[in-house]
């Protein structure tokens, strides 16, 4: 059974960098899938942040591209998100997910439960 | 970027009734690459439908997807108590970027 679990700080100060990790079990990050990060701001819908393929190719949302980095750690079977220059607008529930691959990332078939990140001094 | 508009924003129905949720795209979705998710508080989204009409593994057959081009529909034939949640459509035909609709809240009447 595929499971994903997000971990990281629940509170980040403005201008700091957010670092989140997604631990994967039941599937290898080197299998032919992609691994993505999403978020949901309070009272809003889902937003795609970016995805990384099994071969480490990355795709990022253009609105966040200058601030985001997603990486794989094959030794720990996990992947990570870094988001720099955090502001209050980045306060959200952050989710990781496994996605199917194509010319670009496709749909996500397994999701973590999410981790709440608040940006505040 | 393809914009997805879901309607209605909120749907109030009773268990046993039929639910019809709509998702309209600002331009044609390539290869009908559209998915539907169910989202409940405290949980990650759950994949229901991909490629507009293919049910994901383990999804009951009361859930069905249809449509093509710019107009897509998720139908729940007979609502069960556990079906009351928020539903999102997502397109991946013009990925990246992946884009989502704003969601339809299905609530108990």
How does pLDDT run across B47-89, given as a tens digit for each residue? Answer: 999 999 999 999 999 999 999 999 999 999 999 999 999 999 9
Which of chain A's residues have a Cβ under 8 Å away from the Cβ of B98?
36, 48, 51, 104-105
Cβ B101 vs Cβ B7: under 8 Å: no
The mean predicted confidence, pLDDT, of chain B is 96
Confidence grade of residue A115 (pLDDT, cut at 50, 70, 90): very high
For B88-98, what is the mean pLDDT? 92
Q: Which of A99, A1, A113 is nearest to B40 (CA)?
A: A113
Predicted pLDDT of residue A88: 96
What are A2-38's pLDDT values in tens digits? 999 999 999 999 999 999 999 999 999 999 999 999 9
Q: How far apart are CA B46 and CA B58, in angstroms?
A: 11
Q: Of A83, A101, A99, A94, whose CA–CA distance to A35 is shortest?
A: A99
Which pLDDT belongs to residue A43?
87
Q: Provide the 10 A C-beta neighbour count for residue A94.
A: 22
Beta strand B86-91 with B34-39 is antiparallel
Rounded CA separation A106/B56 (Å):
14
Residues of chain A contacting residue B56, judged by C-beta atoms under 8 Å apart = 109
| pLDDT value, residue A99 | 95
Average pLDDT over residues A101-119: 94
């Amino acid at each position: 059974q595929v499971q994903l679990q997000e971990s990281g700080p629940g509170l980040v100060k403005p201008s700091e960098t957010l670092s989140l990790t997604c631990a994967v079990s039941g599937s290898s990050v080197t299998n032919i899938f992609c691994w993505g990060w999403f978020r949901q701001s309070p009272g809003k819908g889902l937003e795609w942040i970016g995805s990384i393929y099994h071969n480490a190719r990355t795709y990022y949302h253009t609105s966040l591209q200058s601030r985001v980095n997603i990486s794989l750690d094959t030794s720990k079977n996990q992947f990570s998100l870094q988001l720099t220059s955090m502001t209050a607008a980045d306060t959200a529930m952050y989710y990781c997910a496994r996605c199917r691959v194509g010319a670009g990332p496709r749909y996500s078939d397994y999701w973590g439960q999410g981790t709440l990140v608040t940006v505040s001094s | 970027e393809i914009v997805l508009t879901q309607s209605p924003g909120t749907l109030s129905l009773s268990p046993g009734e039929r639910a019809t949720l709509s998702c309209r795209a600002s331009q044609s979705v390539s290869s009908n690459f559209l998915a539907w998710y169910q989202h409940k508080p405290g949980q990650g989204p759950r994949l229901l439908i991909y490629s507009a009409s293919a049910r994901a593994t383990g999804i009951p057959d009361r859930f069905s997807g249809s449509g093509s081009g710019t107009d897509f529909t998720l139908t729940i034939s007979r609502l069960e108590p556990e079906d009351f949640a928020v539903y999102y459509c997502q397109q991946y035909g013009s990925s990246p970027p992946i884009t989502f609709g704003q969601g339809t809240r299905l609530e108990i009447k």
